[in-house]
């Protein structure tokens, strides 16, 4: 009697959600491990968010900061990349469900690393998003570029001084690093790049306002650097308005409430929101299933090993995790992703979850650019509780160097370097193209989904009985990825 040939034990199936800093760096760390990795993300690219503002203001092209994830991971034979929006995590059965158009894919896992990041928070006023979009994705940055340049184009055509003023007033809400960088670049673009390019308007007269409900610019970087950044911005002509809380936003402007309770209106067509973050809603699912707590921004209060209670094989990293002392920055996500991957690798060598060393965040400092040749930088001094703080040219060169190091791909680094050289030495920008679809896509998609959600008779003018919306639904396909 012959016995069946022995089969090799199945390798652990590791599923990673997200291709941002947390997800990509975790996947790369597992490159040579004896596991099968499936990375699922909503986008086909890894996005280098810290340089989004340079896409929005025409300095670099979107491809330079967003390489295709499957190309980056091409040489990792143990890794598959799937495009899909994860809508369900079933912890008990170890399955992740994702959707691409109408197709639903089920991916089973033994280990799960969740790195789905965070979105913009409007603090309960989501209706502001239509008129003051945030800047989290390539779509956002391209739309913003279109809105900024479109405002100049409309102003050129207007003979009405009040309308021109409204079109040439740009408001950035939120004086954190993104708001500071964006306000500085809009000011430089109007002052330098667009100078002399219009015939009826003077782009150098554009008003750039940086608003914040807090009393300081760049609060996480401390009062000294915040003050320096504010002074530099003011030198560029940016108006800084602090203690100013936005209470309403519409197509033509916004309403601001002062500290004393009075309100005032700013007429502005182009508004950008860079205040506050809200973690991925996937955190809520984890809370419902495992009882893990969420913080006010929806971040998951993970255990010391970044796992969640009762599920030692489920890790939450990056902007989705809440760990004291770890900021929502690229380094927090990179280190968290690598740590989770290392835990998985150690278990292949026989370590058990209770033997894991707690996650330790290594603070490498923080920085923000203010304008050409000017940045602020705060780095911890090893062995002390003090920090080395500096600003100006030295910090700016440091910012450029560090961001080049973390950009993925040699060609992207080279192209970016060339674009930087061009933009900072000549003040010219190569990426000022805007398409109509970039500017109007969000509104058009919004209208389409409104139509989709309406009963068919309202759309077609027919009665509900004759045309039941249920009948028009296409059944979704379901795939099961067995790895």
Catalogue the active-site residues. Answer: 181
Query: CB 3 → ligand FAD: shortest distance, Å?
Result: 44
**375 lies in the binding site for ligand FAD (CB under 6 A):** no
By CB under 6 A, tell whether 54 contacts ligand FAD.
no
Candidates 66, 72, 86, 314; binder of ligand FAD (CB under 6 A) is 86
β-pair type (245-250, 103-108): unpaired
Q: Taking the complex as a whole, how short is the minimal distance between the CB of residue 82 and ligand FAD, in angstroms?
A: 9
**Of 22, 150, 174, 283, the one binding ligand FAD by CB under 6 A:** 22
Strand order across the 207-211 sheet:
238-241, 207-211, 169-173, 270-273
133 binds ligand FAD (CB under 6 A): no
- Residue 94 or 174: which CB sits closer to ligand FAD? 174
Nearer to ligand FAD, 33 or 275 (CB): 275
331 binds ligand FAD (CB under 6 A): yes
Asked if 319 interacts with ligand FAD (CB under 6 A), we say: yes
User: Would you count residue 49 as binding ligand FAD (CB under 6 A)?
Assistant: yes
Closest CB to ligand FAD among 21 and 311?
A: 21
CB of 282 to ligand FAD, least distance (A): 6
In the numeric block, which tokens belong to residue 118? Answer: 């965070």
Under rule CB under 6 A, residue 135 binds ligand FAD: yes
Q: Number of residues interacting with ligand FAD: please give it, by CB under 6 A.
A: 33
70 sits near ligand FAD (criterion: CB under 6 A): no
CA pair distance 376, 367, nearest whole angstrom: 5
Provide the sign of the torsion angle of the four alpha carbons 213, 216, 222, 225, taken in this order: positive
Asked if 328 is part of the footprint of ligand FAD (rule: CB under 6 A), the reply reads yes
Contact between 21 and ligand FAD by CB under 6 A: the answer reads yes
Give Cβ neighbours of residue 262 (< 8 Å, ≥ 6 apart).
Answer: none
Say how far residue 436 (Cα) sits from the centre of its chain. 23
CA 322 to chain centre: 17
Compute the distance between CA of residue 20 and CA of residue 394 in angstroms, rounded to an integer: 29
Selected range binding ligand FAD among 43-51, 164-172, 195-203, 349-357, rule: CB under 6 A:
43-51
Look at residue 108 and give its three-state secondary structure.
strand
Interface with ligand FAD includes 116 (CB under 6 A)? yes
Characterise 231 by phi-psi region: left (phi > 0), alpha (psi -120 to 50), beta (else). alpha
Rounded CA separation 390/397 (Å): 12
175 lines the binding site for ligand FAD (CB under 6 A): no
Tokens of 92: 């008990």
- Measured CA to CA, the distance from residue 11 to residue 349 in angstroms comes to 13
The interface region with ligand FAD, picked from 183-191, 324-332, 418-426, 439-447 by CB under 6 A, is 324-332
What is the rounded CA–CA span in Å between residue 249 and residue 131?
7
Close Cβ partners of 408 (under 8 Å, ≥ 6 residues apart): 24, 46, 48, 67, 72
Nearest distance in Å: CB 232, ligand FAD: 17
40 binding ligand FAD? (CB under 6 A): yes
**44 is a site residue for ligand FAD (CB under 6 A):** no
The angle at the Cα of 32, spanning 27 to 35, to the nearest 5 degrees, equals 70
* Cα three-residue angle 226-230-233, rounded to 5 degrees: 140
**Which has the closest alpha carbon to 203: 179, 169, 175, 249?**
169
Stretch that binds ligand FAD, among 146-154, 157-165, 217-225, 330-338 (CB under 6 A): 330-338
Please, are residues 12 and 341 in contact by the beta-carbon 8 Å criterion? no
CB of 304 to ligand FAD, least distance (A): 19
Q: Which is nearer to ligand FAD, 182 or 236 (CB)?
A: 182
Shortest Cβ 445–ligand FAD spacing (Å): 17
CA distances from 410 to 21, 26, 27, 298, 416 (A): 17, 20, 19, 36, 10
- Taking the alpha carbons of 126, 127, 132, 137 in that order, is the dihedral positive or negative? positive
Residue 174 contacts ligand FAD per CB under 6 A: no
Q: Does 183 bind ligand FAD (CB under 6 A)?
A: no
Give, as ranges, the residues between 269 and 288 that touch ligand FAD (CB under 6 A): 280, 282
Give CA–CA dist 114/315, Å, rounded.
6
| Nearest distance from C-beta of residue 139 to ligand FAD, angstroms | 11
Residue 198 φ/ψ region, left for φ over 0, alpha for ψ in the -120 to 50 degree band, beta for the rest: beta
412 binds ligand FAD (CB under 6 A): no
Contact call for residue 23 and ligand FAD (CB under 6 A): yes
Q: Check binding of 17 to ligand FAD (CB under 6 A).
A: yes
Q: Which is nearer to ligand FAD, 167 or 342 (CB)?
A: 342
Residues that bind ligand FAD (CB under 6 A): 17-23, 40-43, 49-50, 52, 85-86, 115-117, 135-136, 177-178, 280, 282, 318-320, 328-331, 333
């Amino acid at each position: 009697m012959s016995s069946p040939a022995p089969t090799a034990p199945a390798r652990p199936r590791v599923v990673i959600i997200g291709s941002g800093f947390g997800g990509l760096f975790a996947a790369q760390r597992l490159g040579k491990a004896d596991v099968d990795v499936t990375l699922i993300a909503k986008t086909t690219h890894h996005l280098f968010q810290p340089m989004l503002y340079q896409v929005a203001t025409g300095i670099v092209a979107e491809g330079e900061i967003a390489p295709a994830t499957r190309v980056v991971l091409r040489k990792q034979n143990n890794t598959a990349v799937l495009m899909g929006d994860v809508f369900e995590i079933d912890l008990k059965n170890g399955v992740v469900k994702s959707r691409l158009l109408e197709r639903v894919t089920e991916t089973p896992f033994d280990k799960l690393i969740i790195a789905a990041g965070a979105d913009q928070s409007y603090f309960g006023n989501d209706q502001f998003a239509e008129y003051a979009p945030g800047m989290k994705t390539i779509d956002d940055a391209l739309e913003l570029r279109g809105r900024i340049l479109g405002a100049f184009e409309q102003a050129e055509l207007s003979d009405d001084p009040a309308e021109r003023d409204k079109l040439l007033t740009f408001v950035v809400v939120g004086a954190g690093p993104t708001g500071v960088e964006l306000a500085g670049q809009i000011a430089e673009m109007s002052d330098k790049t667009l100078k002399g390019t219009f015939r009826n308007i003077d782009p150098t007269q554009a008003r750039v306002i940086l608003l914040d409900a807090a009393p300081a610019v760049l609060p996480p970087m401390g009062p000294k650097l915040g003050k320096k950044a504010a002074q530099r911005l003011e030198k560029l002509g940016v108006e800084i308005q602090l203690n100013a809380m936005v209470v309403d936003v519409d197509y033509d402007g916004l309403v601001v409430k002062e500290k004393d309770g009075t309100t005032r209106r700013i007429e502005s067509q182009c508004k950008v929101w860079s205040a506050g973050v809200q973690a991925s809603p996937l955190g809520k699912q984890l809370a419902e299933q495992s009882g893990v707590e969420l913080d006010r921004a929806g971040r998951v209060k993970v255990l010391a090993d970044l796992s969640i209670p009762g599920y030692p094989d489920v890790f939450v990293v990056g902007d989705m995790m809440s760990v004291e002392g770890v900021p929502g920055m690229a380094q927090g996500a990179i280190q968290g992703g690598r740590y989770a991957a290392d835990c998985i690798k150690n278990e292949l060598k026989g370590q058990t979850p209770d033997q894991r060393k707690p996650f330790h965040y290594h603070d490498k400092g923080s920085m923000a650019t203010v304008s050409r040749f000017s940045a602020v930088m705060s780095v911890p001094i090893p062995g002390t509780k003090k920090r080395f703080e500096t600003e100006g040219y030295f910090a700016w060169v440091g910012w450029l160097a560090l961001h080049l190091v973390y950009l993925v791909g040699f060609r992207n680094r080279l192209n970016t370097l060339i674009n930087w050289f061009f933009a900072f030495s000549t003040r010219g920008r190569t990426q000022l193209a805007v398409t109509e679809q970039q500017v109007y896509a969000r509104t058009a998609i919004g209208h389409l989904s409104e139509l989709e959600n309406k009963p068919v008779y309202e759309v077609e003018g027919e009665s509900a009985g004759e045309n039941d919306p249920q009948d028009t639904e296409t059944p979704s396909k379901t795939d099961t990825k067995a790895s």
